[in-house]
Structure 1
């Protein structure tokens, strides 16, 4: 299970989140500040997640500071009250909790980022061009370089790689890579694909082709 860091200025909401997460088997830590989140990251033996329940403007500020830790930490935003994040801020987070709060959606997201235990691990390796995707280890290499991707970005790239024979629509990517019932705009898919493209292009030419009005395909 993921270690989870909860940061919020609402004590009652913290107690609710702690209860939901602990009942699902997660180890939950409280952080009173962004510096507290960063301190917790340095002690984690495995990748964790930060659930931040704050006003929308504070969430954006916090996510900006935590971007350098995205390889070790998934970022979950929980805006206060009826607030919504600005459209251009969705790319800063791996998951956004919208009200009314549905705990199963959060738990499904956290579960989707884990390698299932028990039995023999999957040894599947997916290759395209000079990219290698290790499904069990959830690692991506291009040439001799490691490409650090968040769990969401890993799922998006894996789904594209498993469907190289066709153009994958934004709706297909949402259905395959986000928890069921998540409210995801097509523009959000474009933003995350752009981040994956940027990571892959750091080690070579662009491998993701945008098909106008249809979706994406690996070339």
Structure 2
């Protein structure tokens, strides 16, 4: 029997939460609703969802605070988070992504777009199908076991960062534009801005540590590439 994906909706407006819930049920998902931060934490402690739809403005703690906390906790760090908010300015979008959100959608939004984004983050979370071990110098990625290491040190990556690193390592030494990375890692049908790539590259570099992060090079005006040429330098280029 096919497992029904669970979606935790953290939204304080009942009308919006009900609209989302109805569409999720019709599309084969199991929605759980929490109207404030305390209820959301209680639901999360009870059942680990497959995706979290998180409103920015909530009674009690904000969605931004919750996203940071859940990203820092071992149990919830890999659960995809989509921020729902009326705050659509670029600084707010960047703040949401920096807090740990995998995607960001501004109100008002179409339910079709929301469902497409939910399916997209679920695809990114799914294990890689190729049972391959990729190595570059001391950096190793095993797509079958979802493990990354640098030398003898195991590294912890989120699902999007893992897929981004896997793509870069399997296409090493090539320069990839932000739009190309969006198409290959996120999918060409997903509505995400190119700035999202910069945020996840930054997150990937932080997860890799200084020496491994030096392998990911920013080619100004062109995009990103992974190379072994910078591995001994211990520094990485700044995002253009």
> TM-score, normalized by length of structure 2?
0.74
Alignment of 1:189-200 (within 5 A): 189-200=197-208
Offset, 1:166: 0.8
Name the CA distance, whole Å, in 1 between partners of 2:40 and 2:153. Answer: 28
Contact 1:130 1:142 in 2 (8 A): yes
Within the candidate set 30, 47, 50, 1:48 is matched to 50
Name the CA distance, whole Å, in 2 between partners of 1:26 and 1:38. Answer: 20
Q: For 2:77, what is the secondary structure of its paired residue?
A: coil
Within the candidate set 76, 83, 89, 1:77 is matched to 83
Aligned to 1:188: 196
Encode CA deviations 1:103-133: one digit per residue, 9 max, x unaligned. 342233233134379xxx6422222222222
Name the CA distance, whole Å, in 1 between partners of 2:6 and 2:210. Answer: 30
Offset, 1:179: 4.3
Q: Please give the root-mean-square deviation of Cα atoms over the aligned residues, in Å.
A: 3.0
Name the CA distance, whole Å, in 2 between partners of 1:39 and 1:137. Answer: 31
Aligned to 2:220: 212
Q: For 1:77, what is the secondary structure of its paired residue?
A: strand
Within the candidate set 79, 97, 100, 2:109 is matched to 100
Aligned to 2:8: 5
Name the CA distance, whole Å, in 1 between partners of 2:135 and 2:8. Answer: 34
Bigger Rg, which one: 2
Alpha carbons of structure 1 residues 116 and 88: separation in structure 2 relative to 1, 3 Å: closer
Encode CA deviations 1:150-174: one digit per residue, 9 max, x unaligned. 2222221121112104111111111
Aligned to 1:65: 69
Name the CA distance, whole Å, in 1 between partners of 2:153 and 2:184. Answer: 27
Name the CA distance, whole Å, in 2 between partners of 1:141 and 1:192. Answer: 19
Aligned length: 213
Contact 2:6 2:31 in 1 (8 A): yes
Contact 1:133 1:140 in 2 (8 A): yes
Name the CA distance, whole Å, in 2 between partners of 1:130 and 1:60. Answer: 36
Contact 2:21 2:31 in 1 (8 A): yes
Contact 2:51 2:122 in 1 (8 A): no
Q: Which runs of 5+ in 1 are unaligned?
A: none
Higher relative contact order (CA 8 A, sep 6+): 1
Encode CA deviations 1:1-47: one digit per residue, 9 max, x unaligned. 543211101112212222333334333322233343334444446x7
